[in-house]
Amino acid sequence: MARTAYHHGDLQQQVHDQALAVVREHGDSAISLRALAKQIGVSAPALYRHFADRESLLAELAISGFEALRQRLLQVKHTPPRQALIGIGLAYVRFAQDEPNLYRLMFGGQVLPRGFHPRLDDAGKAAFQVLEDTVERARHSGYLKPMPLALMTATAWSLVHGLSQLTIDGHLPNADAEPHLAEGITSLLLEGAIADTNRATDNNEDSP
């Protein structure tokens, strides 16, 4: 795998890295196969040896994004239910705010429709699974009401995803003025999900 003109042995990885950098900085619409090839110093059709088409390359980048998100969520400690739930919600939103362009690609339903890139679908589910596990632990411990797990996780995901999208797109102008918005929102949802037994103690925890 010598570094000759042909077979320089690293094209796939190099394209992936370069494209990921472009997406993170300028968004997926800034990805041009021809421009990428020129930057790397290779002809444009060479990329087709490693990616079926532009969309497949974008799918690979989105997979990287979901894996990065999953790693972030996995780092949230298994603290008592309330902190764990709020912690994972905040970690989710923070990821979106740290990587807005990547996050938009991951959930860009138009540019990357589900069902066409199995590994992408799997990567998304794997990230979601971490969130679901956290909810399940809280529910199993009796902290949450015994509602259907699917309902609870769908609610949690909707909330953090919606908040992420709205903030990174500038729809919530006072997001800067309210740095604790994410925490407040998560807590507000929790108020409706916790079992009545835990209601009194929790409120005391919040405002010491």
Catalog residues that contact DNA under the rule CB under 7 A. 1-2, 4-9, 11, 31-35, 37, 42-46, 48-50, 53-55
Q: And the tokens for 201?
A: 């103690």
Among candidate residues 78, 83, 77, the one with its CA nearest the CA of residue 187: 83
Residue 137 binding result from a copy of itself, DNA, none, given CB thresholds of 5 to 8 Å by partner type: none
Residue 43 binding result from a copy of itself, DNA, none, given CB thresholds of 5 to 8 Å by partner type: DNA
Closer of 20 and 37 to DNA (Cβ)? 37
CA-to-CA dists, residue 108 to 2, 58, 67, 104, 112, angstroms: 38, 11, 16, 6, 6
Q: Closest distance between DNA and the C-beta of residue 199, in Å?
A: 54
Residue 50 binding result from a copy of itself, DNA, none, given CB thresholds of 5 to 8 Å by partner type: DNA
Closer of 9 and 184 to DNA (Cβ)? 9
DSSP string, 37-69: HHHHTS-GGGGGGT-SSHHHHHHHHHHHHHHHH
Q: Closest distance between DNA and the C-beta of residue 36, in Å?
A: 8
Q: Closest distance between a copy of itself and the C-beta of residue 180, in Å?
A: 9
User: Scanning the structure block, which residue is given the tokens 């925890």?
Assistant: 205
The footprint of a copy of itself (CB under 8 A) covers 27-29, 100-101, 104, 107-111, 113-115, 124, 128, 147, 150-152, 154-155, 157-163, 165-166, 168-172, 174, 178, 181, 184-185, 188-193
As a whole number of angstroms, the longest Cα–Cα distance in the chain is 70
E-assigned strand segments in 70-117: none
Closer of 31 and 84 to a copy of itself (Cβ)? 31
Contact 28, 105 (CB under 8 A): yes
